[in-house]
Amino acid sequence: MLLEDERAAVCEYARRMTADGLVVGTSGNVSVRSGDLVAVTPTGVDYDVLTPGDITVVSLDGSVVDGELRPTSELPMHLTVYREAADPEGAPVAAVVHTHSVHATAVSTLVDEVPPIHYMLAVIGPSARVASYATYGTPELAEAMLAALKGRRGCLLANHGTVTYGKDLAAAYHRAQQLEWLCRLWLLARSAGTPALLPQPEIEHIVTRLRGYGQPPR
């Protein structure tokens, strides 16, 4: 099977999105790039019954290379990330996660950027912008998302959800989780009063510190 490992990973993380409450039903989508090919979730298929054979493989121009099912309607967003997004540190962009997570979507209706409620905002970048609203699945939404991603590894989509990317699915998914957690934290604090926010220089300082975070490769 073409891109067998990548298709299996897409299935695994699609199911994780449901289990972790980042999507409901068949909403949201996941993709992985390998060379000039992309394995992506199909449209309208319950993630609980998704198998690697259900995952569609497309080229970077959107043409279906392998698979019987139509790819997600948000394919323009995924392909725009792979073709045009640039990681701030030059890391490869090899996976994209799009969620409809509740707290992040709620925040996308309130502000233009995620408020710096916690230093973990730095996993996205100096800030996490909210892309202006456009109808799902359209080039206009992909363009709005790309503008919000400039110098960032993720963003919110107004009245819609989130998009994050990474060098692999684990990295992209971790950022989606952190973005949802940050938004939940801010909404909780805001419901109780006026949250104290971190100054922007501190977030930028943490961005730099995170570059050396974790264990060195073995």
Active-site residues: which are they?
A: 74
Helix 75-84 to helix 139-149 angle (10° resolution) is: 40
Within 10 A of 32 (CB to CB), how many other CB atoms are there? 24
**What strands, in cross-sheet order, belong to the sheet with 130-131?**
64-66, 56-59, 37-40, 29-34, 95-99, 161-166, 154-157, 130-131
3-state secondary structure (DSSP) of residue 100: coil
- Among residues 51, 61, 45, the alpha carbon closest in space to that of 7 is found at 51
3-state secondary structure (DSSP) of residue 40: strand
3-state secondary structure (DSSP) of residue 131: strand
User: 28, exposed or middle or buried, with CB in 10 Å at 0-12, 13-18, 19+?
Assistant: buried
Q: What are phi and psi of 32, to 5 degrees?
A: -135, 135
